[in-house]
């Protein structure tokens, strides 16, 4: 048996000399949403005539796999705010009722941060913190709060702001200045963002934990862009129900973690009448952000470094931690290993767990850094990780770091990522 990993081409748009990768892919009827200069990648929006499905939560397979019901007995994300830099967040969504702060709109266009002309940002917010009310998406951290930061993605609604320059860096800085502990960036650009690195460093200095989608262009050019490429940003790839990386999910030294990103519910479009099924690293980044919110809520005095270190320590993998996979990084997020089993050492609060370098800010909550930890041989974003073949590709490899666990001698195995499990089907390649 083998798990079918869907292969769909990602869209690109060029404006002002920049290329935009779509960070989400609709698994049903697709209509792409493009953006302007330095634009951010958007979830493709399906046009479905039916009302919101009553069983949308039954399609959230990853919640069962993560053992979410057991996790929520320990942590629900309460006390944690997540900044969603995206197309805006529709605060009228019943699943987000009372959970969306006013936020910031950096586009210079009409509207506010709670206006979403694409549907993408609202999907991301619900995947992180939705309550599931009225049959909507249930978030990984249902008691977390959302701070929307609306950026260039919506400029298509207002052509007058297209030439005002890239607003991504401004958005990151706005998120850094907010009360959010976590910043989610489900978008990507093939080119460095104006002031992007400096904005990321600024956010780090404020003690923020930053997640970004790595992109969906693996079958075309596989070029992980920005902001996932910046040091200090956790690049997230997309895995399916079998624990295998999606064919579209881009690979490289900038992949730090993997999270579910195939067959995920998403708003079909910006009329917010129905959900479709989507694929994309956008969703994976959101789910990773939600998992981080659960851990941080349980350990509110930890720093961003400590939360990330525990996510890395407890990630599902069968390869050495100091040789992360180019496809799944340090492995699949498994928050239950910490929340339910107490696994993962937070280590030093002021040491980056990836680079092992000291950071300028130890905490957003005044926590005292713990004793320093010895440097390891974990590679930084400027070094190479494990060389493996992408899921479904024709390349052969003697190892299989494109999957979460490899079990030899049996037809199937189970990877426990929470109280539940991912079914991992045997597919080791010869080589």
3-state secondary structure 25-93: EECCCCECCCCCCCCCCCCCECCCCCCCCCCHHHHCHHHHHHCHHHHCCCCCCCCCEEEEEECCCCCCC
Residue 223 has pLDDT above 80, yes or no: yes
Q: What is the DSSP letter of 319?
A: S
pLDDT at residue 224 in the model: 82
Pick from 412, 395, 88, 405: nearest CA to 270: 88
Q: pLDDT at position 108, please? A: 81
| pLDDT, average across residues 360-385 | 40
Contacts of 98 (CB under 8 A, 6+ apart): none
- Looking at residue 44, what is its pLDDT? 31
Q: What is the pLDDT of residues 291-350, one digit of tens each?
A: 999 999 999 999 999 999 999 999 999 999 999 999 999 999 999 999 999 999 999 999
Q: CB under 8 Å to 82, separation ≥6 — which residues?
A: 128, 129, 141, 144, 145, 146, 147, 180, 181, 182, 183, 184, 289, 290, 293
Q: What torsion do the CA atoms of 107, 122, 81, 95 make, to the nearest 10 degrees?
A: 150
Read off the pLDDT of residues 178-205 as tens digits, 9 standing for 90 and up.
Answer: 999 999 999 998 888 889 999 999 999 9
What's residue 111's pLDDT?
A: 81
Per-residue pLDDT, averaged over 373-386, amounts to 36
Question: According to the model, what pLDDT value does residue 12 have?
Answer: 31
pLDDT at position 400 over 90: no
Average pLDDT over the chain reads: 76
pTM comes to: 0.78
> pLDDT tens-digit profile of 75-102?
999 999 999 999 999 999 999 999 999 9
Cβ-Cβ contacts under 8 Å for 21 (sequence gap 6 or more): 10, 11, 12, 41, 188, 189, 190, 215, 216, 217, 225
More confident residue, 238 or 404: 238
**What average pLDDT does the segment 379-384 reach?**
40
Reported as a single tens digit per residue, the pLDDT across 35-68 is 222 333 333 322 232 344 458 999 999 999 999 9
pLDDT confidence of 160, banded at 50, 70, 90? low
At residue 130, does pLDDT exceed 60? yes
Ordered by start, the domain boundaries in the chain are 12-339
pLDDT range class, residue 426, cuts 50, 70, 90: very low
240: pLDDT strictly greater than 50: yes
Determine the 3-state secondary structure of 188 from DSSP.
coil
Residue 28: predicted pLDDT: 37
Give the span between the Cα atoms of 431 and 422, in whole angstroms: 26
Across residues 236-259, what is the average pLDDT?
A: 96
Catalytic residues: 86, 120, 282
Region of residue 134 (left: phi > 0; alpha: psi -120 to 50; beta: else): left
259 CB neighbour count, 10 Å cutoff? 30
Q: pLDDT above 70 covers what percent of the chain?
A: 68
pLDDT of residue 31: 26
Dist CA 128 CA 96 (whole Å):
10
CB under 8 Å to 271, separation ≥6 — which residues?
none
**For 305, phi and psi rounded to 5 degrees?**
-60, -40
Q: How far apart are CA 242 and CA 405, in angstroms?
A: 10
Write down the CATH number for the domain with range 12-339. Answer: 3.40.50.200
pLDDT at 220 over 70: yes
Categorize the per-residue pLDDT at 16 as very low, low, confident or very high, splitting at 50, 70 and 90.
very low
The stretch 103-110 carries a mean pLDDT of 87
């Amino acid at each position: 048996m083998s798990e079918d990993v869907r292969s769909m081409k990602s869209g690109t748009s060029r404006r002002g000399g920049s290329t935009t990768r779509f960070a989400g892919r609709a698994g049903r009827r697709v209509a792409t949403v493009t953006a302007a200069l330095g634009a951010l990648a958007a979830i493709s929006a399906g046009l479905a005539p039916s009302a919101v499905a009553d069983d949308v939560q039954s399609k959230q397979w990853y919640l069962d796999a993560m053992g979410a019901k057991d996790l929520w007995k320990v942590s629900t994300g309460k006390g944690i705010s997540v900044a969603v830099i995206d197309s805006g967040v529709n605060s009228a969504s019943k699943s987000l009722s009372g959970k969306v702060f006013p936020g910031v709109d950096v586009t210079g266009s009409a509207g506010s941060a709670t206006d979403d002309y694409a549907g993408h940002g609202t999907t991301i917010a619900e995947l992180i913190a939705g309550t599931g009310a009225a049959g909507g998406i249930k978030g990984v951290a249902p008691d977390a709060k959302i701070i929307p930061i609306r950026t260039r993605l919506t400029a298509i609604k207002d052509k007058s702001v297209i030439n005002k320059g890239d607003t991504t860096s401004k958005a990151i800085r706005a998120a850094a200045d907010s009360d959010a502990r976590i910043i989610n960036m489900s978008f990507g650009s093939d080119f460095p963002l104006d002031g992007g690195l400096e904005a990321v460093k600024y956010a780090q200095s404020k003690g923020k934990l930053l997640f970004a989608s790595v992109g969906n262009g693996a079958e075309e050019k596989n070029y992980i862009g920005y902001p996932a490429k910046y040091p200090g940003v956790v690049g997230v790839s997309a895995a399916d129900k079998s624990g295998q990386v999606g064919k579209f999910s881009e690979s490289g030294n900038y992949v730090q973690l993997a999270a579910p990103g195939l067959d995920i519910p998403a708003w079909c479009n910006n009329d917010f009448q129905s959900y479709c099924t989507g694929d994309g690293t956008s969703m994976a980044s959101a789910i990773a952000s939600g998992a981080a919110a659960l851990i941080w809520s349980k350990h509110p005095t930890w720093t961003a470094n400590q939360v990330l270190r525990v996510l890395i320590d407890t990630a599902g993998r069968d390869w050495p931690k100091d040789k992360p996979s180019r496809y799944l990084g340090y492995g699949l997020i498994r928050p239950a290993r910490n929340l339910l089993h107490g696994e993962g050492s937070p280590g030093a609060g002021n040491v980056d767990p990836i680079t092992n370098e000291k950071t300028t800010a130890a905490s957003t909550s005044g926590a005292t850094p713990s004793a320093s930890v010895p440097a390891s041989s974990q590679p930084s974003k400027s070094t190479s990780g494990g060389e493996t073949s992408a899921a479904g590709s024709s390349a052969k490899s003697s190892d299989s770091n494109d999957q979460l666990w490899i079990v030899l001698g049996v037809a199937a195995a189970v990877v426990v990522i929470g109280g539940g499990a991912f079914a991992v089907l045997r597919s080791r390649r010869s080589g």
